[in-house]
Amino acid sequence: MSRATIAVDRFVMLVLAVILIGAGVAAIAWWFGLVTWLPARVDLSGAQDIVHQPWWPWAAGAAGLIYALYQTTIWFFQGFQAGLIAFTAAVMGGIGNLKGAVLGGLIIGIIQQISDNRIGSEWTPAIVFGYLVLVMVFRPQGLIGEETREAG
């Protein structure tokens, strides 16, 4: 019989993923009012107010932790390229438009894969930003963005 083995880092990521999924489900349940575990704040008049804390900074930190565990090296410039590509997707789709940002991200992902396979990975960022320049020249409001009127 053969035994299944799993690397320690994969096991740690699996445990963290299960914990984060559970925390996400609990946060969603709390967000929709299905459960309340935060303490009530009582002021001098006796009125109670539930103390709300946003969950997304914790989720972003947990995602960064899992990414760092997977990469096994941490340095100060680690998320710069991912942030730059995310900003490019938001600008390409239209600032303030979530559907446009998703479309821009999908287009950037397709361009990156085609460029990596056909041209070479060293040219991928230049091709992505060249496409961004083309979008901004011919459609300055973005792919799905709406035209805005200037004040005055």
Residue in 82, 88, 86, 87 with CA at minimum distance from that of residue 133: 88
The pTM of the full predicted model, rounded to 2 decimals, is 0.54
Domain range for 88 is: 80-138
For 86, other C-beta atoms within 10 Å of its C-beta total: 15
pLDDT digits (tens, 9 = 90+) for 3-57: 666 677 778 877 887 787 778 777 776 666 655 555 555 555 555 555 556 666 7
- Amino acid letter for position 79: G
Cα 17 to Cα 42: distance, rounded to the nearest angstrom: 36
Are residue 88 and residue 127 in the same domain, yes or no?
Answer: yes
Mapped onto helix, strand or coil, the DSSP state of residue 37 is coil
pLDDT digits (tens, 9 = 90+) for 46-78: 555 555 566 667 777 777 777 777 777 777 777
pLDDT digits (tens, 9 = 90+) for 104-152: 889 999 999 999 889 888 898 899 999 989 988 998 888 887 766 665 5
Are residue 14 and residue 57 in the same domain, yes or no?
Answer: yes
Map tokens 């320049």 to a residue: 133
Q: Give a yes or no: residue 152 inside a domain.
A: no
Are residue 53 and residue 15 in the same domain, yes or no?
Answer: yes
Are residue 13 and residue 65 in the same domain, yes or no?
Answer: yes
Are residue 66 and residue 89 in the same domain, yes or no?
Answer: no
